[in-house]
Structure formats: C-alpha cells, structure tokens
Chain A
C-alpha cells in the first residue's frame, strides 16, 4: 500500500491530503507529552501564560519512553492511549496544535476540534516501542524535567510510521474499520 512521506511540523496544505487510512512516514520534529504534561500545558493556557514551546503548527506524540542505555538515543518509544488526553486536547488545538500521534480512538469533542481547526490525528502501532525507537534520531527534554518519564521532549524523527485515524473531513479509522469487519451485533 502507498506510503506518504511527510515533514513535521506539517504544512496546512498537507493536512488536507491526509485522509483516513493514509499511511505516512513522519520526518522532522515532534514533541512528546503525556497526561501530566498535558495537565500543565492546559493550566498555562488557562492562566494566559506562554507555553514552554511554541505549539503553533506543531505535532505532539503521546509517548513516555523507557530510558536509553549508554550510547542510545532513546529506549522503547511507542504511543500511549490517546483517550486520556482528550479533555486537554481541544484547548491545545485551539492554541495552534496541528497534529497528534497516539493510539486508540478520540472523543467526539476532539474529533470536532480536528475538523474545525484543520488538524490531524495519527496512530502509531501500540506495543511496538522497540521497532518505533529506530525512527528517533535525537531526543532532548525541553520542559518539565521534574516529571521524569512524563517530561516534554523534543524529538527528531526520520520515517516514523503512522496511519491517519481522524481527518479534517470527519473520517474515523476506528469506526470505519470496525464497521467493515463486524460480523453481528451482540
């Protein structure tokens, strides 16, 4: 199947071409954030303060890696469940966040924000942290170091594989996939 190489931060016109089911290979810069970091980012927004990095046009990867061995860039580095970030996500999208990488489906509110603000939600394959770590070329903590594994990191990635799960047209990979293979209702 076709795979589209894309660069992160993702240009607005590229977002329009990312339809549900499109396979992508992401290269460039992404930022990590999990539950604790999301909580803080939204607290900052609520105070009308400035975020620890410019989120405009950026990509968030819901990921907290295992520690690197000496000489390694990063340890195992796969996605965590995106649904836990759902309540924090619409304000971040409104603040300029353009793409998210995680696993599992999103809430209605997030899907609406994705349509409204021309954003994209991509899924990486959960539980393939060893495989995905190969795509990460550089990693540095840029905010909230006290959160340890949940600190915000700036990652440089090369050909990180993902699949478009929610697009600006309202498509949802989880609903479509399930509808196609469901045998009967319980």
Chain B
C-alpha cells in the first residue's frame, strides 16, 4: 500500500482553491479568444474582451476572477492501492478548503441551514465531495469552485423514453433560454443523459471538467453536442445576455445506460468563469 499523508492533501487542496480562483484555464482563455473572433455583436465582442482582460488582472494581482468564489466542489479519485495516513480524508479536504479560502482572501459563500438561519459558515466549508475508487495507488484531486448564479439555473428532467434525441435537444435549449443572462454566458453546458436522477446530475457536473470543447469520444454523442451548441447559439442571448451569437462555448455530454422506463436528462450550467484545477498525489 502506498501511503498518502492527510496533511499533504490539505496543503494541495488549499493551493488548488487559490489557483482555481486566480488563474483561468488556458483552454477557457483560448475558447474566449475564439468567441471574441466569431461573435457578431460589437457589444458582445467588447464584453468578451473584458472577460479576457479580467483574467489577466486576476492572475497578475492574485485577485479572484469573480467575487463569487463558489462552493468548493471536489472530485476525488482514490487509487485502491493507496492508504491515507495521519487523518480522515474528508476532514483533510475540508481543512484545505478552509485554509485556501482564508489565506487567499477568497469570498466565503456557504450558508448553514439553507431554508432558515442561513448563517455564513465563515470559512467556505463544507465542500461538496464526490469520491470514486479507481485502480492504482494515487490520489487525484479535482477542485471546481462553482458559482451560485449558474448553478441556480440547473435542471433535471425525467423525460419519457419516446422523447428521444429531439426531446433532449428541445429541453436543453429551453433551459438555456430560461437562464438567459443570469448564468453569465458564454456558458459551458454540462449534460448527464441516462443513469438515474442523481447519477445524471453528477455526470452533468463532471462533464464540466473536460477541456473546453473537447468532444465526447463517441461520435454519435459528439454530433449531439455539436447540434445543441448550434441551437443554443441561435437563441441570440449572447455574452452576459446582452445579445449576440455566442451564448455557449461548448456542450459536454456524458451518456450512460438507463432503465427501460426512463430517460433522465441533467443540465448543469457553467458560467464563463469556468474554474477548476487538479493535482495528483
């Protein structure tokens, strides 16, 4: 068994929180530059230019890209040959979030008791952690600060199997149309298709971790992604909802088998501040 120390996990998570909030990924920047090239609206072009400029300032000055530094969503891939020593895995991750958000002067946005007290927990804990056991002896940590505005526009639709491909397309387009400018487009649209209700939702979020615009390896799914992207960009919503031809940068769909009675469709929207960083211990 390979040993991974809990305190190294804490340190790594603290760094990821800050990196993710200060440094926009190269793939996102590239997609934004392409979007600025292709956007037909002059105002949209200008807005995209400001997003790129904002990313430069954030990185240079170590200022959060967005004041909403998000819920810390953490995907863990734990090698089955690895052993965590010197502490509890989830406590180590939570401590990393606490340290990262405090040391990085990141905004703490977690409210306790969602429907009454809503007291800020003060350190952005608890994180939302998704764990997978995988072959090997390493620990992969992927951290995604997820802003509230875009997350609020997520949907889960349990479609009838007969709705099929067309039903999926219509429902996704409707979700983006309803979200309008509120989810801070241009978006990355994460889709989970199939599985069960909760599995679809989880895969919709995991799809957002893919490099922007990298198609699903299955050509049939990749065609669906492409068609939805064209339909969404025809809505005219544009950057920040001010009108334009680039409402989404990419559609990432994950597809899995489902029950004979079901066609679950989960839509998780990612704002243009598509922040995530990862490390392997």
* Known contacts A81-B149, A181-B41, A184-B234; A174 and B108 CB within 8 A of each other: no
Which of A76, A77, A129, A173 contacts B242 (CB under 8 A)?
A173
A182 and B69 alpha carbons, distance in the complex (Å): 32
Is the CB of A104 closer than 8 A to any CB of chain B? yes
Closest B residue to A21 by beta carbon equals B43
Whether A174 touches B242, Cβ cut-off 8 Å, given contacts A127-B66, A180-B41, A186-B177, is: yes
State whether A76 touches B240 (Cβ < 8 A). no
The segment out of B56-64, B194-202, B204-212, B255-263 that lies at the interface is B56-64
- List chain A residues, Cβ under 8 A from B42: 1
B65 and A104 contact, CB distance less than 8 A: no
Decide yes or no whether B190 CB sits under 8 A from chain A: no
B40 on the A face (CB < 8 A)? yes
> What 0/1 pattern do residues 41 to 55 of B give for CB contact below 8 A with A?
111101100110110
CB distance from B6 to the nearest CB of A (A): 27
B57, B67, B174, B244 — most chain A CB neighbours (10 Å): B67
A186 in contact with B173 (CB, 8 Å): yes
Within 8 A of B (CB), among A32-47: 36
Q: How many residues of A contact B (CB 8 A)?
A: 46
A181 CA to B51 CA, complexed, in Å: 21
Give the segment of A6-14, A49-57, A61-69, A112-120 that binds chain B: A61-69
Q: Indicate which residue in A63, A133, A180, A182 contacts B235 across the interface (CB closer than 8 Å).
A: A182
For the complex, is A108 an interface residue (Cβ under 8 Å from B)? Answer: no
Q: Is B142 an interface residue (CB 8 A)?
A: no
CB distance from A106 to the nearest CB of B (A): 11
Judged by a CB distance under 8 angstroms, whether B20 is at the interface is no
Query: Is there an interface contact between B63 and A133, defined as CB atoms closer than 8 Å?
Result: yes
A129, B120: Cβ atoms under 8 Å?
no
Given A64-B67, A104-B241, A125 and B180 contact (CB-CB distance below 8 Å): no
Whether B177 pairs with A67 at a CB distance below 8 angstroms is no
- B182 adjacent to A76 (CB under 8 Å): no
Q: Known: A65-B67, A76-B64, A178-B237. Is A186-B231 also a contact (CB below 8 A)?
A: yes
With A65-B107, A76-B66, A125-B51 given, is the CB distance from A183 to B182 under 8 Å? no
CB distance from B184 to the nearest CB of A (A): 4
Contact check, B54 vs A68: say whether CB atoms are below 8 A apart.
no
Contact with A along B237-281 (1 / 0, CB 8 A): 110111111000000000000000000000000011100000000
Residues in A lying within 8 Å of B, measured CB to CB: 1, 21, 36, 63-69, 75-78, 80-81, 83, 103-105, 123, 125-131, 133-134, 148-150, 163, 173-174, 176-184, 186
3 smallest A-B Cβ distances: which pairs?
A177-B243, A182-B236, A183-B234
Interface residue ranges, B against A (CB under 8 Å): 40-44, 46-47, 50-51, 53-54, 57-58, 61, 63-69, 105-109, 118, 120, 122, 149, 152, 170, 173-174, 177, 180-182, 184, 231, 233-238, 240-245, 271-273
